[in-house]
Amino acid sequence: MIPRTTFRDEQAANRRNSLLLALIVLLVLAGLGFAIGYGISGNLDTAYVVVLGAVFVSLLLTAGSYFGGDALVLSASHAREVTPQQAPQLYNVVQEMAIAAGIPTPRVYIIDDTAPNAFATGRDPRHASIAITSGLLQKLDREELQGVIGHEMSHIRNYDIRFALLVAVLVGSIALLADVFLRFTFWGGGPRRGNDREGGGGLQLVLFLLAIVLAILAPIFARLVQLAVSRQREYLADASSVGLTRNPAGLERALAKIASDREVLEAANRATQHLYIVNPIKKFEARAQGLFSTHPPIVDRINRLRQLTGEPPLDPAAIRQLQGLD
């Protein structure tokens, strides 16, 4: 028997896990920078400079994405802003969920695509946007739409939109630093004799070799951590949506409908797929090959929602219908 938890328990656990995973990514960036700096120079001062430089570049990239990242995402998704007069029911649900969440009403965008899906973006609740596809409006009833909007509103209220941005930039910084270092070694760069008082040539060579290994593996590891953060935040937003709507059944049905829909969301790509409520790149698509999963399994998400209300898990027939779709 699965122990019963509340959505507040889900919120607390996932916040702790997400913060821990983000700290791990930051430590990987710092460790890679130190290994590269000391491995090349054999000097502690140089190693610290490389670490500080890597963090500084990450901060610059974060600042650029902080102020302009949402506009780029919306433009890349071909989203158009709509008014209350153009989409009255959608706006009504968005305003309803914003009041329940205690945050300003975000800007509302529609993506003209028949595949049902949605995402939130922005840097904070005062500078946030929600984008949904036209297919979502057509295929979901009001309760299901409330569940989806509640999920996206939770991403905004919980600052997931900012949190995901931070982790994405850290992962990108690790990949950038690793790529520069590997190119440096490929073109003949190598360890230079450092100060023997600071560890000797043996330690320098070990750290240089370690830096090469880290440069190859760290981006992959950091990407896996990023995906783990994304999955944790999806669980948290599901639980938070229940707190806003008081109706887990609406979100449960919505997740099942979106996951089982066979339409291809053309506007989604590898850079934006993690933003959507359900992975928009289906496993049967050619572009899905070689991708890590950005979302928790739909079956797990639905069972967690059922767990919040004490309902039994999905039966085997329902699991077979939903398994492997995400």
Q: What average pLDDT does the segment 67-77 reach?
A: 87
Mean pLDDT of 157-164: 84
| Structure tokens belonging to residue 120 | 């939130």
287: CATH:
3.30.2010.10
Q: Which two tokens stand for residue 53?
A: 């430089």
Q: Does the residue 253 lie in any domain? A: yes
Statement to judge: residues 249 and 132 lie in one domain: yes
Q: What percent of the chain has pLDDT over 90?
A: 35
Q: Give yes or no: residues 236 and 316 share one domain.
A: yes
Residues forming a β-bridge with 122: 128
Q: Between 267 and 165, where is the model more confident?
A: 267
What value does the mean pLDDT take over residues 93-111?
Answer: 96
Closest among 135, 134, 137, 145 to 97, alpha carbons compared: 145
Residue 200 CB coordination number (10 Å): 13
Q: Between residues 301 and 207, which one has the greater pLDDT?
A: 301
Q: Which of 175, 204, 227 is the last residue of a domain?
A: 227
pLDDT value at position 148? 98
Pick from 168-172, 262-266, 291-295: least confident: 291-295
Q: Which of 144, 152, 234, 252 is catalytic?
A: 152
Let me know whether 238 and 191 are in one domain: no
Predicted confidence (pLDDT) per residue in 115-132, tens digit? 999 999 998 899 999 999
Looking at per-residue confidence, does 92 or 323 come out higher?
Answer: 92
Read off the pLDDT band of 205 (50, 70, 90).
confident
In a domain, 34, yes or no: yes
Residues 165 and 312 in one domain: no
Q: Name the phi and psi angles at 105, rounded to 5.
A: -65, 125
Does some domain include residue 2? no
Q: What is the DSSP string of 127-152?
A: GEEEEEEHHHHHH--HHHHHHHHHHH
Under 8 Å between Cβ of 29 and 54? yes
Residue 1 belongs to some domain of the structure: no
Long-range contacts of 81-88 (CB under 8 A, 24+ apart): 81/107, 81/108, 81/109, 82/108, 82/109, 82/110, 87/137
Tokens representing 108 are 């509302």
Closest CA relative to residue 266, chosen from 141, 71, 162, 134: 134
Domain's final residue, options 193, 208, 227: 227
Residue-level pLDDT at 15: 67
Reference 280, options 88, 49, 76; nearest CA is: 76
Q: Does residue 272 belong to any structural domain of this protein?
A: yes
Is 29 a member of any domain?
yes
Question: What pLDDT was estimated at residue 3?
Answer: 57
Summary mean pLDDT of the chain? 83
Last residue of a domain, one of 206, 227, 248: 227
Residue 1: predicted pLDDT: 47
Whether 169 and 316 map to the same domain: the answer is: no
Task: Tell me: do 148 and 283 sit in the same domain.
Answer: yes
Torsion of CA 255, 115, 274, 147, to 10 degrees: -30
Q: Are residues 170 and 223 in the same domain?
A: yes
Q: What tens digit of pLDDT does each residue of 22-61 get?
A: 778 788 888 888 888 888 887 888 888 988 988 888 778 7
Annotation marks residue 152 as catalytic: yes
**CA distance linking residue 132 with residue 119, whole number of Å:** 7
Reply yes or no on whether the pLDDT at 114 is more than 90: yes
Q: Are residues 167 and 271 in the same domain?
A: no
180-195 residue pLDDT tens? 888 877 776 666 655 5
Clarify whether residues 120 and 178 are in a common domain: no
pLDDT (0 to 100) of residue 64: 80
Whether residue 214 is found in the same domain as residue 248: no
Question: Which strands make up the sheet holding 107-111, listed edge to edge?
Answer: 79-81, 107-111, 128-133, 118-122
pLDDT tens for each residue of 208-221? 787 888 788 877 87
- Asked whether the beta carbons of 152 and 118 are under 8 A apart, the reply is yes
DSSP state of 111: E
**203/138 same-domain check:** no
* pLDDT tens track for 228-287: 777 888 988 998 999 999 999 999 999 999 999 989 898 888 778 888 999 888 765 555
Report how far apart the first and last C-alpha atoms of the chain are (Å, whole number).
Answer: 26
Token pair recorded at residue 22: 């983000």
| pLDDT at site 196 | 47
Percent of the chain with pLDDT over 70: 86
- Do 140 and 167 share a structural domain? no
Q: Residues near 321 by Cβ (< 8 Å), separated by ≥ 6?
A: 260
Counted domains in the chain: 2
The pair of structure tokens assigned to 153 is 């509103």
Domain that holds residue 62: 7-71+161-227
Is residue 56 situated within a structural domain? Answer: yes
Q: In Å, how far from its chain's centre is CA 180?
A: 25
